[in-house]
Structure 1
Amino acid sequence: MALIFYARVSSQGQNLDRQLARSKEVKADKVFTDKFSGKTTNRPGLKAMLQFIREGDTVEVISLDRLSRNYQDIQHLVQRFKDIGVKLVVDDLPQTHTGNELVDQFMLDMMINLMGFVAQNEREKIKERQRQGIEQAKKRGAYKGRAKKYAADSSDREGKLVFEGIKRDYQAGDYQSKAQLARKYGISRQQLYRILNLIK
C-alpha cells in the first residue's frame, strides 16, 4: 500500500516547489508531476500515475484542481480510483480525510457533486450571456455569426490555404473523388462539402 503524490502546474514557467515540499512532508512513496494545463487529462505524469496505482494505494493532491480543472474529468478520475480501490486525499478539503473511510468518501462525493452544480450553473450563465449578446448584436446589425475556418477570407492561415488548395483542385478537376480530396487535405467530408458550397 503506497502513498502516491501527484503534483501539477499549468506551464513550464511555473514551479512545483510548494507541492513537492508537501510530498516530502507526508513521506510519499512515489511522486508524479506534470507541467501541463488542467484542461486535459492527456498528461504524461497523470497517465504514468494511473498505470502505477494499485488496490490499497492512496493518492494525495493539494487540491482537486491539480487532478483536473474539468468537473467531468475529476468525476471520471475519482470513479477510476474507486474502481481500483485507491483512496484519494485532498489536502485543502480536510473534511474529506477524517479517518473514517465511509465519511471521507461521502464528503468527497458531496464536494464533487457541489462542484458539478456550480460548474453547470456557470455554463448556463455563460450561455445566457452569449445568447443575450448575440441578440443585441443582431439588433444593431453587427452579428455576423461564427467566422469560417475554411474560407477565402479566413483569418486562420492554415484554413485559408486548405480552402485555396481545394478550390484549385476542384475547379481543375484534379481529384479522383470527393472522399480522396477530403483525405488529401486532412478534413472530413462534411467540411469538404461546406467548402464546395462556398466555391460554387
Structure 2
Amino acid sequence: MKLGYIRVSSKDQNEGRQVEKMLELGIEERYIFIDKQTGANFDRPQYQAMKMFIRPGDLIYIDDLDRLGRDYDGIIKEWKHITRELGADIVILSNPTLFDSRKYKEMGDIGKLMEDQFLSLLSFVAEQERKKIKRRQAEGIALAKKQGKHLGRPKINLETISKEQRKTLEANFERWKNQEITAVQFMKMLGLKKGTFYKIVKEYESSQAS
C-alpha cells in the first residue's frame, strides 16, 4: 500500500503542494498523514499514527528528507526502524536516486552495508553543517557586540517612535488626560502595546514638565 507523509513547520504554512504530489502518485487522501509542527523530534501525532498503520511491503513517500525530520541521528534511527523492523520502504521524492530504500534491499547484504555507510555519511555531513551554522552565528554575535550593535528587538521609547506616532501623541495627549478618549483607544491610535504605551506617555509628560 502507498502512504504519504507530509510535514510543515507551523499551522500557518500551506501543505497543498506536498498533498498534490502525493495525490499524483495515486495515494488515497485517507492514507496521507499530515503534521503541522517542528521537525526537531519525532513525537508528532500523525507521524506516530502512520507508524502504527504501516504493514510489511508498504511504500512511504515523503517530499524531502527534512520533511521527515531535522534531527539526522533521529532520521537514521527512524529510517532503519521503518525499513528493517516494520518491513516497509521509503522514497524521498526530491532525490529518489539516493533515497529509495528498495534499491538497497535489492542488493541483499551488500546493499544493507551500503545503506549503513550512506546513512552514516549523511549524519556526519549534517553534523558538520550544524556546527558550521552555530560557529557562524557565534562569530556574528561576537562581531555585533564588538561593534556596539544592539542585539534582539529594538527598544521603543519616546525618541525612537515614528514622526506619525509623535504627531498623534502630541495631538491627543491632552484629550486622553481629560478622559475624552480611553487608554485603549489611544494605544490603538499609536499602534503600541500597553506596557510601551504607558512608558512613552510617561516620558512625554516628563518632557513637557521640564
Distance (whole Å) between structure 1 residues aligned to residue 138 and residue 8 of structure 2 = 34
Pairing of 1:92-103 with structure 2 (within 5 A): 92-95=94-97, 96-97=99-100, 100=103, 101-102=105-106
Partner of 1:78: helix, strand, or coil?
A: helix
Distance (whole Å) between structure 2 residues aligned to residue 135 and residue 17 of structure 1 = 41
RMSD: 3.0
Pairing of 1:48-127 with structure 2 (within 5 A): 48-81=49-82, 82-95=84-97, 96-97=99-100, 100=103, 101-102=105-106, 109-125=116-132
Deviation at 1:119, TM superposition (A): 2.0
Deviation at 1:20, TM superposition (A): 0.5
1:57 to 1:49, Cα distance in 2 relative to 1, 3 A: same
User: How many residues are matched?
Assistant: 137
1:125 to 1:28, Cα distance in 2 relative to 1, 3 A: same
Taking structure 1 as the reference length, the TM-score comes to 0.57
Distance (whole Å) between structure 1 residues aligned to residue 33 and residue 45 of structure 2 = 9
Deviation at 1:83, TM superposition (A): 1.0
Partner of 2:34: helix, strand, or coil?
A: strand
Higher-Rg member (1/2): 2
Deviation at 1:79, TM superposition (A): 1.3
**Residues 112-152 of structure 1: per-residue CA shift (max 9 Å, x gap):** 3232111222344467668989999xxx9xxxxxxxxxxxx
Deviation at 1:56, TM superposition (A): 1.2
Distance (whole Å) between structure 2 residues aligned to residue 107 and residue 35 of structure 1 = 33
Q: 2:2 matched to 1:3?
A: yes
**Residues 1-27 of structure 1: per-residue CA shift (max 9 Å, x gap):** x11100110011111111111111111
In structure 1, the partner of 2:44 is: 43
Partner of 1:94: helix, strand, or coil?
A: coil
Distance (whole Å) between structure 1 residues aligned to residue 135 and residue 101 of structure 2 = 40
> Is contact 2:89–2:101 with CA below 8 Å preserved after alignment?
no
**Residues 53-97 of structure 1: per-residue CA shift (max 9 Å, x gap):** 011111110111111011011011101112110111111112144
**Residues 18-39 of structure 1: per-residue CA shift (max 9 Å, x gap):** 1111111111141100111111
> Is contact 2:90–2:101 with CA below 8 Å preserved after alignment?
no
Identity %: 35
In structure 2, the partner of 1:144 is: none
